[in-house]
Amino acid sequence: MDFRLSEEQEFFRQTVADTVDRLIMPKVEEIDRTDEFPWELWKEFTSLGYLGLRYPEEYGGMDADPVTCMLFYEEMSRASVGFAQSVTMNMLMGTYFVYRFGNDAIKERCFLPAIRGEKIATMCFTEDQSGSDIGATRTQAKKVDGGWVINGTKNWITNGPLADCATVLATSDPSLGAKGLNFFLVEKGTPGFSPGQVLHKLGCRGTVTGELVFEDVFVPDENLLGEEVGKGTNYLTEILNEVRCMTAAMAIGIARTAVADGLDYARKRMAFGKAIGEYQLIREKFARIVTELEASRLLMLSAAWKIGEGMNPRNEAMMAKYHAVEMCLECVDEVTRVYGANGFAEEYGPQRYFRDARFLLYGGGTHEVLKNALGKAVMSGHWR
Amino acid sequence: MVVLAKEVPDLEAMVKVTADGGALEVEKRRGLNFFDEIAVEAALKLEQSAGASVLAVSAGAGTGIEALRRALAMGSDAALLVDDPALEHADSLTVARALAAAARREGFDLVLAGKQATDDEAGLVGPMVAELLGVPCVTNIIGLQVEGDIARVTRETEAGRETLSVALPAVLTVEKGLAEPRVPAVMGVMKAMKAQIPRVTLAELGAEAQPPLTLAGYATAPARPPAKMLEGEPATVAVELARLLKEEAKVL
């Protein structure tokens, strides 16, 4: 057993960290304040080629293993989780099924421009009445001659209102629940497809999240992203572990920035004649949250490593997401306490970490749903 | 072109003098020297216009690979590490001998280097390499154009800007402002990650390993006395400040 990153992975991590520090860090506060999609940064950052990270080299990608991808997601989220979400939507959820099932023309039209950052991609799951419970999806696709007609409304879609290419989850038979689901590619400009309301979020600002409306949207047969009708749930499992590990990596990224800021503050802030970091109660906070942070990272990296080895770490990926996000919430809470009243001030970082961290609770499954699934797995002997 | 690339601790790495004062404990966060990164960028810009190739060379005892990978990620064509136990805590002359021998073996029209490293800040290696190679040297340049076998360089002096013409081959050391180092793109990062960087020893280069200087020890700088803050109306504070500068600090 060897827990070290390879020399190459370490170099990659350091290079990404440096890129993030140079390009994204200086813009983080502005992105949060204006809540506008940072087009200029998007162009500058995506021109470096990172969006193809997990895809084969023949498409201009890096063919990176899941552990290397996690290092990228973690470093990105150290700066702006909002921007990281826009980026990762194009890198993974918004492009995976287009890459996996799209024909050459579709790849040329949507996949390649999306991983070059020239087009914005998204994946639409959530609706007003369904999120983690995807079997309750109401957006419906009806088979017609030569294609499908889609009707429904999606909500909480990252990149949604800006999307050029949307991978849409829709049921072909509502009576089948999770066994009637499919993915369809819908492109901007298709009649009946339009962006709806943009949501104003507490955190993760700068990433545009909102509704997408489908009114009698016709797409041709080749836009069904899957080999068989009704297998959407099965296809989804191909990336679900990775999505959950990615959410864990993002939580770890936020927590690292919070801890770094907290340590800096605790070393400088004086109270009763000495730095507050000299007091045991402050040290206890750091001892505890850093231990939890390292535990989260081990869980996340081990699950990611298993994905790379072709295993199916379904439970570990759920644990990684659940543990890391709870750790992150605890961590930013403790850091705001280290800051005292300044933790409540917009002039300091912790209030932003506090707001951003909460958005990670939902993606990849709420913790209530994840714990239910984990509890069921454990009770039925599927743990280990 | 050859670029001299030193691996140094990250500027934010923690540094501590050991209890016996014999060495430094440095946090293991290392990268390419800030000024050498500018040299790499300047070389890459020239490469585009002149069609030359860029070789990054570093010297260390088992260190230097990180710096060279960075130079490769930015776009350098090749890298070479002079890796020798004798380079552990080596003085500037020993390092310069190693780098000059490597440059001589590989061939060059131009050697570019940072004006100094951000760890020891000696600023000696560039000019020493020039002397060992027997070629001209201009330090601290902020402008560079190559026309045929002449380099036109600009350097900032106390009196203003100085423009010089230098016959190539030459060694030029670069100052901040010459070029803005690029952020490496993924293709470069991939190439750097996969690169098998060749290593040579001092003996293989025929370079002398006996350092004329030995390290006697380190000491922690004495803590600064606490700053005195003056409070009150600007006019009163100014008078008091002038008095303190004259009577206590004795600088006026």
CB atoms B31 and A14 under 8 Å:
yes
Q: pLDDT tens digits for B140-185?
A: 999 999 998 999 999 988 889 999 999 999 999 999 999 999 999 9
Every domain of chain A with CATH number 1.20.140.10 lies at 233-379
Nearest to B186 among A8, A18, A49 (CB): A49
- Report pLDDT for A309: 96
User: Are A184 and A148 in contact, with CB atoms under 8 Å apart?
Assistant: yes
Nearest CA in chain A to B69: A11
Question: How far is B188 from chain A, CA to nearest CA, in Å?
Answer: 9
If DSSP codes are grouped into helix, strand and coil, which group holds residue A209? strand
> Is A15 within 8 Å of B70 when comparing Cβ atoms?
yes
* pLDDT score, position B216: 87
Q: Which residues contact A56 (CB under 8 A, 6 or more apart)?
A: A63
* Chain A residues in contact with B69 (beta carbon < 8 A): 11
CA dihedral A164, A165, A171, A172 (to 10 degrees): 110
What was the pLDDT predicted at A383?
78
Helix H, strand E, coil C: the string for A27-54 is HHHHHHHHCCCCHHHHHHHHCCCHHHCC
Q: Which residue of B has its CA nearest to A20?
A: B183
B185: CB partners within 8 A, 6+ apart: A47, A48, A49
Q: What is the mean pLDDT of residues B60-88?
A: 95
Q: pLDDT above 70 covers what percent of chain B?
A: 100
- Interface check for A353 against chain B (CB to CB < 8 A): the answer is no
Contact of B89 with B215, CB cutoff 8 Å? yes
CA-based nearest residue in chain B for residue A21: B183
Search chain A and give the residue with CA nearest B29: A14
Q: Which has more confidence, B249 or B115?
A: B115
pLDDT of residue B71 exceeding 80: yes
pLDDT tens for A32-86 read 999 999 999 999 999 999 999 999 999 989 999 999 999 999 999 999 999 999 9
User: pLDDT for B122-141, tens place per residue?
Assistant: 999 999 999 999 999 999 99
Mutation for B interface: A5, A12, A15, most B CBs within 10 A: A15
* Choice between B16 and A278, residue whose per-residue pLDDT is larger: A278
Burial call A78-97: b when 16+ CB within 10 Å, e when fewer: bbbbbbbbbbbbbbbbbbbb
Could you tell me where the beta strands, DSSP code E, fall in chain A? Answer: 121-124, 140-144, 147-158, 165-171, 181-187, 193-198, 209-220, 270-271, 274-275
Q: Taking CB atoms and an 8 Å limit, are A11 and B190 in contact across chains? A: no
pLDDT for B50 equals 74
Distance in angstroms (rounded) separating the CA atoms of residues A233 and A134:
9
Looking at residue B250, its pLDDT comes to: 87
Q: A19: which chain B residues are within 8 Å (Cβ-Cβ)?
A: 183-184
Class of domain A233-379: mainly alpha
Second CATH level (architecture) for the domain A121-230: Beta Barrel (2.40)
CATH of domain A7-115: 1.10.540.10
Determine the pLDDT at residue A36.
95
Cβ-defined contact of A52 to B186 (cutoff 8 Å): yes
Give the per-residue pLDDT at A215.
98
Between B66, B183, B192, which is nearest A48 by CB?
A: B183
Question: Which of A153-157, A201-205, A310-314, B229-233 is predicted least confidently?
Answer: B229-233
CATH 2.40.110.10 residue spans of chain A: 121-230
Kindly determine whether residue A49 and residue B187, on different chains, have CB atoms separated by under 8 Å.
Answer: yes
ipTM: 0.82
Q: Which domains does chain B have, with CATH numbers?
A: 2-205 (3.40.50.620), 225-252 (no CATH)
Chain region(s) in chain A for CATH 1.10.540.10? 7-115
| CA nearest neighbour of A105 among A47, A48, A172, A187 | A187
Task: Count residue pairs from A and B with Cβ separation < 8 A.
Answer: 37
pLDDT above 90: residue B220 = no
At B89 the pLDDT is: 84
Mean pLDDT of chain A: 96
**Which residues does chain B have within 8 Å of residue A62's beta carbon, measured at their own beta carbons?**
186, 189-190
Kindly identify which residue of chain B lies nearest to residue A50, measuring between CA atoms: B186
Is A49 within 8 Å of chain B by CB?
yes
Which chain A residue's Cα is nearest to B187? A49
Q: What percent of chain A has pLDDT over 70?
A: 100
* B87/chain A closest Cα distance in angstroms: 22
> What are the chain A neighbours of B31 within 8 Å (beta carbons)?
14, 18
Residues A82-114: pLDDT tens digits? 999 999 999 999 999 999 999 999 999 999 999
CB contact under 8 A, A49 and B70: no
Tell me the pTM.
0.89
pLDDT at position B229 is 84
Contact A19 B184 (CB under 8 A): yes
Has residue B20 got a pLDDT over 90? no
Residue B22: pLDDT over 90: no
CB–CB contact A53 B73 (8 Å): no
pLDDT at A361 over 90: yes
Residue A263 C-beta-side C-alpha neighbours within 13 Å? 9
Cross-chain residue pair A23–B194, CB shorter than 8 Å: no
Do the chains contact at A49 and B185, CB–CB below 8 Å? Answer: yes
CA distance B124 to chain A (A): 28
The helix/strand/coil state of A366 is coil
pLDDT tens, position by position, A126-152? 999 888 888 899 999 999 999 999 999
Q: What is the pLDDT of residue B21?
A: 85
